[in-house]
Structure 1
Amino acid sequence: MAGPVLDLCDVSYHWPGRAGFALTVPSFHIAKGETVLLLGESGSGKSTLLSLICGTILPDRGTVNIAGRNIAALSGGARDRFRAEHIGVIFQQFNLLPFGSVADNILLPLRFAPARRKRVQDAAANAADLCTALGLPADIMTAKASALSVGQQQRVAVARALIGQPPLIIADEPTSALDANSQAAFLDLLFAQTRTNETSLLMVSHDPRLGARFDRVIQMEEIAQTERTVA
């Protein structure tokens, strides 16, 4: 079995402030090429966990290893570069540059990730190939992101996360605004691309109906404990 792309060990984090929130994750890992659906209700700590995995917040204790590196041991700048190289994120609201073209948005991560850029011999052609594979029209590359439909924006966000083949894709509620048919079509496209690149996928959702497609389905309370305190 391939070694873990993501490995959390004895992680704990406390949000500062009077109304404290604490999250503890004794152990959580994802293997290379594995697809994992993480289910949890609002307030269960999913967003905090994703922030810890991405290194935008650091644990008070424990280790978060991505591709064998403890990201908490890196400086702020090095951590940002490491994130850009190793993690592709599909945000719930997509977070596209509205006045940038589709090509600009897809190619953006490569500006901050030279190793990802090196894996793409012809960046523009690779971006176009991803768009085609995701069912977008050939002439969409020059269109402004703000002119796209929600479904098109979503697929551009997927292409941006996938370009350069980062080892880990994190998808934060990417299907929450879609009907059942659109959800199925989107997941077909996403899984086809992750299989092609042997990319690991962690998708966060509150919808258990998605689970049949994934290698593992995990409830947030199975891997994490939360505590709320009032000072």
Structure 2
Amino acid sequence: MQKFHYIVGLNYEYDKTDPILFVDQTDGSIHPWSPFQTKHHTDNLAFYAELEYRFSKNLVGVGGFRLEYNDDTYIKFLYSEAYRSPTFLEKYADVPTVVVGDVNLKREKIQTLELAIDSKINSKNTLQLTLYILRLKDEITRRAASGGGSEYYNSKGLQNYGAELAINSILNAKTELMFNTSFVDGTNKQTDEHLNFIAHYTANAMLTYHFSKFWSATFSEQFVGEKHYHTTSGEEGSIGSYNLANLSLSYFKKYF
């Protein structure tokens, strides 16, 4: 049994812009609404790796650990870290009445911690449960600028945490049920307030009945919980929860 597996790679990106794209053909001047008033270029070099090592028959390390409790159940503990470099526009945009970039922007850093259980309960039922925490540092976002437009800057970021549950079940030879629900909450680290417009609770259910080899009917329902918000001026409010239902009839046949 091979114990060690790996995937490694190298990625290089080069971007360049030239205001000649916005030159007035009559007098050679640069249009004042051009997002770039001078030549610029950026380059980015990235390295990535994914490593896996099997410590024993049931324990595998993959940037975390996966415990193979038995042939039908996996318990995973994963940690991942990534980043996003600022785009060309975020660094070099230069239209004061609209948006202005910042050449000193830092990269966004994303850290994720995840604990998951994936289990085949029996031949007809499976269950997946995931708990996670996500932290976004140095988030690149915009704020009002003195020139009347907006400007890009690095905020302190945000933190999300939540749970997801999914169940798939074959009720009988003709009927299948899929159900999932989730809870999520988070904090804006810049303001120490809860994130805006987040539905803390969502749920989806789908019931499918196969009339024959070619025909099936599916009823699905989606629930989205109440969303709360607050503005910079101090206003607070909420958007009510809602349900969506759908009934569909499907025909499937192979012709080739």
Q: Same fold (TM over 0.5)?
A: no
Larger radius of gyration: 2
Return the structure number with greater strand share. 2
Task: Identify, as 1 or 2, the structure richer in helix.
Answer: 1
TM-score range, shorter chain: under 0.3
Q: Which has the higher contact order (CA 8 A, sep 6+)?
A: 1
